[in-house]
A and B are shown apart, each in its own frame.
Chain A
Amino acid sequence: MMVLRTLQRTPLHGYALAQQIKRSSKDLLQIEEGSLYPALQRMLKDGWLKAHWDVSPTGRRIRVYQITAAGAKHLEHEVSSFERMLEGIRFVLDPEQA
């Protein structure tokens, strides 16, 4: 979900994506950078992302990932169900507020 959300803002390559996620989660999520790649492949396979090889401003060969229409739709669905879930959790934790 995070990957899709991040890529929705702008297409990125793997390394940049990892850095971006790290920054946006304020370094709270300490994940191995490598674990990003299987996830990317899965999303490629499901058609939520597409990828192409490009050259970065620093002259590096990079593989840029871009969200597809299907990916965007899936993200929307995920976000709303995530929000519903949060809603549910909030209700359980603090029934009065709900």
Chain B
Amino acid sequence: MNFLQQLILRRKLDRDVDDEISEHIAEKAAELEARGMPPAAALLAARREFGNPALTAEQSREVWHYAPVEELLADLRYALRQLRRAPAFAAAAIVTLALGIGANTAVFSVVNAVVLRPLPFPDSHRLVSVLVRSTQGGTPHPEELSYPQFFEFRKHTAAIEHLVSYHDTSMALSGAGDAVNVPSEIVSWDLFDALRVQPLAGRAFQPDDEAAAAHTVILGYQLWRAKFNADPSIVGRTVSLNREPYTVIGVAPRDFVFPLGNRDVQLWTTLAVDARSNTKEPMTEQAGARFLQAIARLRPGISIPRATAELDSVEAALGRQDPDNYLQVPSTWITPAVDSLVGDSRRPILILLGAVGLVLLVACANVANLLLARTAEREREFAVRASIGAGRGRIVRQLLTESFTLALAGSAAGILLAIAGVKAVARLAAGSIPRIEEASIDGRVLAFSIALAFVTTVLFSLAPAVRLARMELISPLKEAARGNAAGGGKFRSALVVFQIALGLVLVSGAGLLASSFGQLMRRDVGFRPDGLLTFSIGLPRSLANVPAHLAFESRVIDRLRALPGVTDAALAVPLPLAGDELSISFNIEERPSAPSKHPVSDIAFVTPDYFRTVGIPLQEGRGFTENDNASSEPVLIVNRAFADKFFPGENAIGKRIEPGATTDDARNGMRQIVGIVANASQDALSSAPTPIYYYAAKQLPWCCADYVVRTTGSVAALASSLHSVVASIDPSAPVYGVHPIKETLSKAFTAPRFQLLLLGAFAAIALLLSAVGLYGVLAYAVLSRTREIGIRVALGANRAIVLRMVLRQAALLVAGGVAIGALGAIAGNRLINTIIYAPPMPQSILLTAAALILVITAAVAAIVPARRAAAVDPIQALRTE
């Protein structure tokens, strides 16, 4: 019988023994009676013969007891009774722990989902991201691949099982309800093979799906549900994408997400799209067009360095063949795919985890403080227990059980808090941290919080336990009720100093983020975002129908301008704040260089009204006009950063450069810079203005320009009227990506805002807990010194002196905490400085402000006990003893 069964069968066993004993005595008595003894005497004799039935029963039962568990249960019962008897103490401790453990659990569940969880594919440790290392423009950074390069890599690799290229696109799906624009991915054929994913229905791509003539597509589960009613017979049918017929060959599984972390992509098609692109030569043959990312599955047992070495030699060979397009240095950039997904998010999350760990320490210090106070109050109880035979170890264990009970209750409450908190946290960070929407309380997170409960128990009961173990257990019995109540005072003060120090670290960290965030918000984006709305129209475009497209676009612009409130409308790609989507190298006429050494800059294509619409001021020269068209002299406008970087100390107007971007041979050649505009932000989070040069849209029509409209009226009203405007021109053209620029801007700040809010919340909790800790120590000191204070007052000390006495104690604690905390804060801020986007205020100001916040909080916490001390009535105080 194992002990669990025994526990369950306990009641029956107990009953058996009791029954048996009473039967025994009855039988004996009956026998004695039969021999002629009177019944009462017989029963008495039977009992005498038997011995002590209660003790026998007890001893019989004990045989079955599993001592450690029994004692634990007894301790637990006792602990619960103790906690019920001190509800204020229990509530304070549990709330404190719930805050600490809850915050930690919530942050850990984010760390778990974002950083720790492997990719949801078989043997995902063998999946790597393949890019090349570029040193162009200073610091080495990963750069995308071109198709020819990708094909070479794919051909010559023994280390890699599958190498898959991918890049984003969007496709207009028509013929199934309203035309919609679907975020899509153009991949090489073996994506599903590389990830080891079986389509839910149909088949995966095959090599011949890459042929330029192939039109095959795999649908995402959500799209399949939304647009095709989850109809399995869709496989083999034809759908219209970008007004071309595509055969649906499969449906992806429900939880399939590719590219990693991008749930929006709902269509996958092959690089056949790029093989038939309407560019001068197909995209698949342009060695200069680097826009591919790649994911690879390494063969079993192959390390990343080995794969890197192999691809490096392929890269070097390419460099020898084609020095114009390839660097002649081995420079492959291979990283675990999960790392490339998590990327820059890892560091801020881990810093937040560290910060929340500090919050837990503050919480533990608080509970330790509470426990110490309580242990002091209970010294008599422990002494009584010791005097009736409880071992010291037994008493310490009892104390630990109580602590553990608190920690468990705290964790349970904390986990409930975390369940609510995780959702809020995920919402706060939505879109800025990959996979954060997957954060949840799973087994690992639960294990984490239970481990936390154990660790916290040790942390906060260490001090009281050590004190108890050292304590002279008998002496309190001899003393008056409130014996050496000041005991543990030093240690408790040390805990408060520690709390204040941690509080300062967190408050100054939050201050740093706040100051940086404020700077970010105040930063001039270089244009006027109010009243701006951007959107896109999903129309396929090819060189063959450029004139029709330009006509369509100008009709849309004209209609938009006619809307009430609309002052301007223009076309651009990329839009402001859309990131550095396009960058192209160029040759400067005055300083020609070899193709591989060409400088690189961002580019954009804009219509003449763009600068006025968006609100970018022209600084020198002229803007574009309607006359800057295909037949006029090719011109460019650059921004201030471009002029300063590439023509320092010169006037950039009139200079000529030869950009690499062309759509036909005739337009190749030098272009003259005719204007300089102010710097406008392409990336809301980047601090330095990015050089950019603008093409006149008519001189180099580019695919998929986006619309930007300025209104003096309501942006929301304008947004809702867009669909009807576009539908009145072409009902099959889907409108998508409708965003007020203010919203885009606000979204861009999600990550820093998330970090600030979280760290701010942690700092607030730490501040609150430190204040409670300080209050507790002072209040307790005042209480235990009531008699002393009473005597002082009786002897003539005035209230001001008493008040000062308490405040001096508080001041000493705070000063100590601030001094130690300042050192921690400097170290902590150095770490936080690595994740901020805008320079904060100087450290000295931040630290002073943080210290001031702590001092004010501490003053508030100290004033109550201080006034209570000052109000002590000497008569009352002396009578309390």
**Which A residues have a C-beta under 8 Å from some C-beta of B?**
14-15, 18, 32-35, 37-38, 40-42, 44-45, 51, 53, 60-63
User: Residues of A contacting B344 with CB < 8 Å?
Assistant: none
Q: Given A15-B24, A60-B27, A35 and B56 touching (CB < 8 A)?
A: yes
User: B154: CB under 8 A from chain A?
Assistant: no
B17 at the interface (CB under 8 A from A): yes
Q: Which residue of A lies closest to B21 (CB)?
A: A37
Chain A contacts for B28, CB-based, 8 A: 15, 33
Given known A32-B50, A34-B56, A38-B59, contact A63–B64 (CB-CB < 8 A): no
B1 at the interface (CB under 8 A from A): yes
Which residues of chain A have C-beta atoms less than 8 A from B56's C-beta?
34-35, 37-38
Check: B558 CB closer than 8 A to any chain A CB.
no
Query: Which of A18, A37, A60 has the most chain B CB atoms inside 10 A of its CB?
Result: A37
| Beta-carbon contact of B23 and A34 below 8 Å | no
Q: Which residue of chain B lies nearest to A16 when distances are taken between CB atoms in the complex?
A: B27
3 interchain residue pairs of minimum CB distance = A32-B51, A34-B51, A34-B56
Ordered by A's residue number, 29 sampled pairs between the chains whose C-beta atoms are within 8 Å are A14-B20, A15-B23, A15-B24, A32-B49, A32-B50, A32-B51, A33-B24, A33-B28, A33-B49, A34-B50, A34-B51, A35-B51, A35-B56, A37-B21, A38-B59, A38-B60, A38-B62, A38-B63, A40-B60, A41-B61, A41-B64, A44-B63, A45-B64, A53-B16, A60-B27, A61-B19, A61-B23, A62-B23, A63-B23
Give the Cβ gap from B58 to chain A, nearest Cβ, in Å: 9
What are the residues of chain A within 8 A of B60 when measuring CB–CB? 37-38, 40-41
Q: Tell me if B669 counts as interface (CB < 8 A to partner A).
A: no
Number of A-B contacts (CB under 8 A): 60
Bound complex: CA A4 to CA B493 (Å): 65
A29 CA to B551 CA in the complex, in Å? 119
Q: How far is the CA of A21 from the CA of B62 in the complex (A)?
A: 24
From 129 to 167 in chain B, residues with beta carbon under 8 angstroms from any chain A beta carbon are none
Separation in Å of the B546 CB from the closest CB of chain A? 93
Chain B CB within 10 Å, residue with most, of A14, A33, A51, A63: A33
Distance (whole angstroms) from the CB of A81 to the closest CB of chain B? 23
* B52 is an interface residue with CB less than 8 A from chain A: yes
B595 at the interface (CB under 8 A from A): no
Chain A hits for B59, CB < 8 A: 37-38
Give me the interface of B with A, judged by CB distance under 8 Å: 1, 16-17, 19-21, 23-24, 26-28, 49-53, 55-57, 59-64
CB distance from B843 to the nearest CB of A (A): 69
Chain A nearest CB from B461 CB (Å) reads: 35
Q: Closest B-chain residue to A44, C-beta based?
A: B63
Distance, CA A37 to CA B16, complexed state (A): 11
Q: List 4 extra interface pairs beyond A14-B23, A33-B49, A63-B23, CB under 8 A.
A: A15-B23, A32-B50, A37-B20, A38-B63
Q: Out of B17, B26, B50, name the residue touching A33 (CB < 8 Å).
A: B50
Contacts of A41 in B (CB 8 A): 17, 60-61, 63-64
A15 to B63, CA, bound (A): 20
* Residues of chain B with a CB closer than 8 A to A32's CB: 49-51
B63 CB contact (under 8 Å) in A14, A35, A45, A61:
A45
| Shortest Cβ gap from A60 to chain B (Å) | 6
Least Cβ–Cβ distance between B549 and chain A, in angstroms = 90
Separation in Å of the B614 CB from the closest CB of chain A?
86
| In the complex with contacts A33-B50, A41-B64, A63-B27 CB distance below 8 A | no
Q: With A33-B49, A33-B51, A34-B51 as given contacts, are A15 and B17 in contact (CB-CB < 8 Å)?
A: no
Task: Looking at the assembled complex, report how far the CB atom of B295 sits from the nearest CB atom of chain A, in whole angstroms.
Answer: 61
Report the bound CA distance from A3 to B60 in whole Å: 16
Interface-central residue, A32, A35, A38, A51, by most chain B CB under 10 Å: A38
Contact residues in A for B53 (Cβ distance below 8 Å): 34
Q: Complex formed: what's the CA distance from A37 to B52 in Å?
A: 11
Complex: A42 Cα to B13 Cα, angstroms: 12
Tell whether, in the assembled complex, residue A15 and residue B51 are in contact, meaning their CB atoms are under 8 Å apart: no
Could you tell me the distance between the alpha carbons of A33 and B55 in the complex, rounded to whole angstroms? 12
Q: Residues of A contacting B20 with CB < 8 Å?
A: 14, 37, 63
B21, A15: Cβ atoms under 8 Å?
no
Query: Which of B23, B24, B28, B52 gathers most chain A CB within 10 Å?
Result: B24
Q: How far does the alpha carbon of A29 sit from the alpha carbon of B49 in the complex, in Å?
A: 13
B178 to chain A, nearest CB (A): 76
The verdict on A14 contacting B24 (CB below 8 Å), with A34-B52, A63-B16 known, is yes
Residue of chain A at shortest CB distance from B48? A32
List residues of chain A with CB within 8 A of the CB of B27: 15, 60
CB nearest neighbor in A for B24: A15
- CA gap between A54 and B16 in the complex, in Å: 12
